[in-house]
Amino acid sequence: MHPFEYHRAATVADAAHAKGRFLAGGTNLVDLMKANVERPARVVDINALPLNAIEDVAGGLRIGALARMSDVAAHPLVQTRFPAIAQALLASASPQLRNAASIGGNLMQRTRCPYFRELIWTPCNKRDPGSGCSALDGDNRMQAVLGTSDHCIALHQSDLAVAVAALDGVLTLRGPGGERAVNAVDFHLLPGKTPQIEHDLKPGELIVSLFLPDAPHAQRSAYLKVRDRTSYEFALASAAVGLQLDNGVIRAARVALGGVGTKPWRSRFAEAALVGQVPSERLFRAAAEAEMKSAKGHGMNDYKIELAKRTLVRALGDLVGGAA
Ligand SMILES: Cc1cc2nc3c(=O)[nH]c(=O)nc-3n(C[C@H](O)[C@H](O)[C@H](O)COP(=O)(O)OP(=O)(O)OC[C@H]3O[C@@H](n4cnc5c(N)ncnc54)[C@H](O)[C@@H]3O)c2cc1C
Ligand code: SF4
């Protein structure tokens, strides 16, 4: 970005400050404002900022935060060097939404937990801290089984964020305090006792861009999403996987799970089980078991534990083709 544009972005960020919200595609923010869940003191339209480029830079690809989901999914460099990203985007929402929605807005989207979105359903610790969690003993079919706490079990819904977590994406953030880089995997936070704090974005800070590092496992990557219907539906379970194979042995593995975590779930236990091994269905199952050991269901969402394992086994199997 040109220094003048940096200044402009910083000024915009400053204008938003603590009680403000940026408006990108508006497909999430406006919905929540209509439902009276989001009540920002200021809404700052950021669409005039020059943040929609998709650039081939040293070591990888830089995607502006305002690039539209459809443009990123269709970009040849994304499709060839980061297929899991393109597939995750194409599996998201609908073509109309993807034309309007931005990369930054997608990563920042809030949960679809029904108790969070409908004010008649109380209590909800995320919307009204300290009030309790209606999903724990309520309708939790869609909610998370990994990274939950006694205060919140809300699912993180973004498909893109899962692929980005798997492929070591890095976010550039800019705000009144300057610019900084954050690994995407550390950007979203576990609910713990403060489910209302969802990410590592300081007041007034703006996501400027997403950097995707090139790697053999990124080039050989894929995203598999399992859902109630094949379009226009959020994940029940999903897996972003990337493998580097060398003489039939897995040299590098990247795995992240979606549809099951309170944040995009980078799956280090699964990765550790895969590296150095010869691909096989038995190995993939062992990796899935290792990752899901800490999973905890809450009744209606118990099925997700087995579904996530099967989704990961299938995604890895599809990726290696006949090799497993
Ligand atoms: C019917 C429906 C189905 C959907 N299905 C899926 C799906 O299957 N998978 C999926 O992943 N998503 C799905 N979505 C969510 C959709 O992808 C998001 O609504 C969209 O990506 C949000 O992007 P936006 O640009 O419209 O964000 P906005 O609504 O403009 O903003 C969302 C939030 O992000 C903040 N924000 C936006 N840009 C920035 C930035 N650059 N820096 C800091 N903060 C920022 C805003 O302040 C706001 O809080 C669905 C949405 C709908 C309505
Ligand atoms: S799971 Fe989280 S978002 Fe849903 S009701 Fe409980 S506290 Fe609210």
Q: What is the pLDDT confidence band of residue 153, given thresholds at 50, 70 and 90? A: very high
| Alpha-carbon dihedral sign for residues 298, 300, 302, 308 | negative
* pLDDT tens digits, one per residue of 164-200: 999 999 999 999 889 999 999 999 999 999 999 999 9
Distance in Å, CA 281 to ligand 1 centroid: 36
pLDDT over threshold 70, residue 245 = yes
Residue 132 alpha carbon, nearest atom of ligand 2: 7
pLDDT at 253: 98
Instruction: Round to the nearest angstrom and report the end-to-end CA distance of the chain.
Output: 45
140's CB contacts (< 8 A; 6+ apart) are 153, 298, 299, 300, 301
Q: What percent of the chain has pLDDT over 70?
A: 93
* pLDDT tens digits, one per residue of 271-307: 999 999 999 999 999 999 999 999 999 999 999 999 9
pLDDT at 4: 44
pLDDT at 144: 98
pLDDT at 203: 87
Residue showing tokens 């972003």:
240
Report the residue among 32, 109, 111, 116 best suited for mutation to probe ligand 2: largest number of ligand atoms under 8 A from its CB.
116
pLDDT at 119: 75
* Nearest alpha carbon, ligand 1 atom 13: 93
pLDDT at 247: 96
pLDDT over threshold 90, residue 240 = yes
pLDDT over threshold 80, residue 9 = no
Report the residue among 32, 109, 110, 111 best suited for mutation to probe ligand 2: largest number of ligand atoms under 8 A from its CB.
111
Average pLDDT, the chain: 94
Residue 127 alpha carbon, nearest atom of ligand 2: 8
Q: What is the pLDDT confidence band of residue 121, given thresholds at 50, 70 and 90? A: low
pLDDT at 120: 78
Q: What are residue 265's DSSP bridge partners?
A: 257
Nearest one of 274, 275, 285, 277 to 314, comparing CA atoms? 285
241's CB contacts (< 8 A; 6+ apart) are 84, 166, 221, 222, 223, 224, 253, 254, 255, 312, 315, 316, 319
Q: What is the pLDDT confidence band of residue 231, given thresholds at 50, 70 and 90? A: confident
CB-based pocket (< 6 A), ligand 2: 111, 113, 115-116, 124-126, 133-135, 143, 152-154, 195
* Nearest alpha carbon, ligand 1 atom 52: 93
Q: What DSSP string runs through 156-177?
A: P--HHHHHHHHTT-EEEEEETT
Helix crossing, 83-90 with 159-166: angle to 10°? Answer: 170
pLDDT at 58: 98
Q: What is the pLDDT confidence band of residue 122, given thresholds at 50, 70 and 90? A: confident
* Whether the Cβ atoms of residue 21 and residue 44 lie closer than 8 Å to each other: yes
Can you tell me the mean pLDDT for 133-149? 97
CB-based pocket (< 6 A), ligand 1: 21-29, 31, 65, 92-93, 97, 100-102, 104-106, 108-109, 157-160, 206-207, 234
pLDDT over threshold 70, residue 6 = no
pLDDT at 13: 52
Distance in Å, CA 109 to ligand 1 centroid: 4
